[in-house]
Structures are given as structure tokens and as C-alpha cells.
Chains A and B, each alone.
Chain A
Amino acid sequence: MSKSIKKESPLTMDVFTAGIWKENPVFVMMLGLCPVLAVTNSVENSLAMGAASVFVLVCSNALVSALRNFIPKQVRITTYIIIIATFVTLVDYIIQAISLDLYNKLGAFIQLIVVNCLILGRAEAYASKNSFGKSVISALGMGLGFTLALVMLGGVRELLGAGQLLGYQVFSLDFEPWIVMILPPGGFIVLGSWLLLINYIEQRKTGKLVADDMASHCSISQN
């Protein structure tokens, strides 16, 4: 990357809050969908996955940002992937040490954080161009937004699919659980419903259409 870095905009609250709602990685940018759908059959799994992703996102973005003037442009993607893979291996072993039960529930999806396009996307699009502090704050916001989305999905799926929330019975025991909600189709349907609802609210608010950015999913600029 070029040495002449443009004058950076100051660190504001916006850097942090953008990721939580306005540029929410799941609902707005549609990044990192695989873990979003795969592990959100309960709130507990969603929280664990969210925490693991926040850890990897913040650490890798911090390191990428700190090293941004030393990484040659040609090999940057490879370097980012290796940095991310290192932190994912760490998180993999940490979760295994804390709770083997949780580790078995999440299975290969912890290791699959490596290929979560959200993390590589943020490293490429933000951390490689911005200062250390801003990158960390932004990564934290993005991570929280990601976790929020996971919990929003996990909450609906656990509530309807098992009548429980975080393991506590919410509906009476007569409630017939909607098994489909904790099965794979439920993930797609609940995410689709949230997106419909968000589109509806946005259009009510602005009165105009949301731009169709279907083609730009996961797009990381490659040379």
C-alpha cells in the first residue's frame, strides 16, 4: 500500500455504532451468513459463536491495522488469512478448554470462522486503511452487530422451536414446539422474515426503495 496515507477522519461515536445497526454485517451487508444460520438454533449457541467471532474480528483487525505499513500489497490477502487462522486456532482451543459440551455443539463451525467473509472483508476494507484505534473500535462495533443478529435469530428460533429462551421455559408445557424452526429450513425462513421486516420498516421510514446490492455480497477487492 502507498505510504502517503490520506488525512484520516477523527475517531467518532459513528465508527462504533455504524456496525451495530446502520451497516449491520448480517442484515445490511449479508456477510458471514454460514455461521449465522448454522449455529443459531438456540440463544446460548448464538452468544458463544458471537463471542468467538468478536474475539477473532477484534484481534485480527488490530494486528492487520498495526502491520498495515509492512505488509506488501501482493501478498496481503494471504497474510490476512494466516493472521485470522492463527486467532481462530486460539479460539478453537480456548473453547475446547472452557466447555467441551459447547465445543461439541458448535462443531466445525468454530474453525470455519476462518472463512467468514465478514472478518476478511473488514481486514481488507477497513483495518488495512485505518489507524489502530479506529480499527479496533470499528471491529468491536461490527462484532457486536454480528452478535446482535445472531441472537435475534437464535431467540426467535429457540422460542418457537422449543418454547424456551436460554433454556428457561417461556411458553406453557402445552405449547407444541415448531420443530421446523430448529431444523435447517427454520434458519432460512427466520432470516428471510427479519429481512422482510427490516425492508418494510426502512421503506416506511424513507418512502423509497433500498438499493439492490445483491451482486456485491462478500466482495473483497482483489488485484
Chain B
Amino acid sequence: MNPESLSFIFLNAFLINNFVLALFLGLCPFVGVSAKRDTAFNMSLATAFVMFVSSTCAYGINQILTIFELEFLRLISYIALIASSVQLVEMILKKFSPALFRALGIFLPLITTNCAILGVALFQTSRNYDFLQSVSFSLGAGAGFGLAIILMAGLREKLELSVLPNITQAAALSMMLAGILSLTFMGFAGLGTTA
């Protein structure tokens, strides 16, 4: 597969270099919101949407900054951009789905500090993706984040029913689980090399 092709970029962000399990981006919600499958699903939808919006806007902003040679402002403008997209999602949700808005609670504004979103914007800039590649990359990253967090939530729901030693409480067990999930995702690494 051609590493520049849209489908490969999508697959790369989705499975091979999964944002959560291979690049360690977006770990806070991954540990924090993965207790129930429903919430995890909604969280991943909200995150994927913010990712898509901010990634497309970041592409435009980066073009403008490059024209004026203001690259040192990139980080600050990306952050401001992400904060406003989160605000947008918050307003849409509040209007159309108040139940979901309450369910996500504190984690909605915290999408702003989700490194996966800034990560998408920064990676697409450093890899010089064009517009369509950026879109494909952000969709893949969103799907990959969703996949990881829903898998984790499913595992944790099962674990609720089992008897565990006391020392595995808090995040210790989640980390171990994430390690095993991450190991299985290493299996996708072969996909990338068969060019």
C-alpha cells in the first residue's frame, strides 16, 4: 500500500499506530471515562467530532500562518481553536441532547486538554499532509480512539463482576489491561511494512 494514500493514512491512525494504545495520546479520558460502555461510546463520538472540526480548521490556520511566517504562533492558535470547537460541541449537545450533555459532565470541557486532539493537529502539520489527507487522518484517529476506549469499557464492565485482590484497585489494573490491549495492537504493525 502506498503510505501516502488516503486509505493507508486512515488505517494507520486507526489500527497500526492507534492513538491511545501505540502513541499514548488521550490517556486521561481513556482511564477516566471507560467505566461504562454507553458513556465511553458517547465520549468517543464527541471526541471524534471535535477532532474532525479542529483538524480541518487547523489545516486552514496553518496555511495562513505559513503565508505570514508566524509559525511560532502555531501552538497558541491550535489551542484556541480546539477550545472553541469544544465550546461549539458543548452548545450543540446542550441544545439537542441534554441527557448526553449531563452524562458526559466534566469530561466534555476536558476534551480541550485531551492530547489526542492537539496531537492530530500537530502530527498532520509535521507530516505535511494536504487537506484530504488531514481529513482522513483525523477520521482515523477519532475511530481509533473510539475503538480503544470502547474495548476498554467492555473489559472493565466484565471485571466489575469478578473478585479482585485489593491491591489492583484504582488505576493499577486499568494500566495492566491497557498494556495487554496494546500488545494485541502490536499485531497490526505488520500491516504497515507490506508496502
B104 at interface, CB cutoff 8 A: no
Fill in one digit per residue for B95-137: 1 if any A CB lies within 8 Å of its CB, else 0: 0000000000010011011110011001100100000000000
Q: Is the CB of A195 within 8 A of B171?
A: yes
Once the chains bind, are A189 and B175 in contact (CB under 8 Å)? yes
Interface of B is mostly: helix
Cβ of A100 to closest chain B Cβ, rounded Å: 15
The answer to whether A209 and B166 touch across the interface, beta carbons within 8 angstroms, is: yes
- Assembled-state Cα–Cα distance A85/B119 (Å): 14
B residues with CB within 8 A of A: 21-28, 31-32, 35, 72, 75-76, 79-80, 83, 106, 109-110, 112-115, 118-119, 122-123, 126, 166-176, 178-180, 182-183, 186
Asked if B115 and A86 sit within 8 Å, CB to CB, the answer is no
Q: Does A73 contact B (CB under 8 A)?
A: no
Chain B residues lying within 8 Å of A37, measured Cβ to Cβ, are: 24, 27
Pick the contact of A111: B22, B23, B75, B168 (CB < 8 A).
B75
Q: Is the CB of A217 within 8 A of B113?
A: no
Q: How many A-B residue pairs have CB under 8 A?
A: 145
For B184, the closest partner residue in chain A by CB is: A185
Interface presence of A222 (CB below 8 A): yes
Enumerate chain A residues within 8 angstroms of B168, measured Cβ to Cβ.
196, 199
Q: Quick one: given A114-B75, A180-B183, are A210 and B170 in contact (CB under 8 Å)?
A: yes
A203 cross-chain contacts in B, Cβ below 8 A: 166-167
- Return chain A residues, CB-CB under 8 Å to B175: 188-189, 191-192, 195
Q: Which of B76, B170, B174 has the most CB of A within 10 A?
A: B170
Enumerate chain A interface residues (CB-CB to B < 8 A). 30-31, 33-34, 37-38, 77-78, 81-82, 85-86, 88-89, 92-93, 107-108, 111-112, 114-117, 120, 180, 183-189, 191-193, 195-196, 199-200, 203, 209-210, 212-215, 217-220, 222
Contact indicator A82/B79 (Cβ below 8 Å): yes
Query: Contacts A37-B24, A108-B119, A212-B169; is A184 near B182 (CB within 8 Å)?
Result: yes
Q: How far is the CA of A112 from the CA of B57 in the complex (A)?
A: 19
Measured CA separation A44–B156 after assembly (Å): 35
* Most-contacted residue by chain A among B28, B83, B118 (CB, 10 A): B28
A34 touches B26 (CB 8 A): yes
Query: Which residues of chain B have C-beta atoms less than 8 A from A85's C-beta?
Result: 75-76, 79
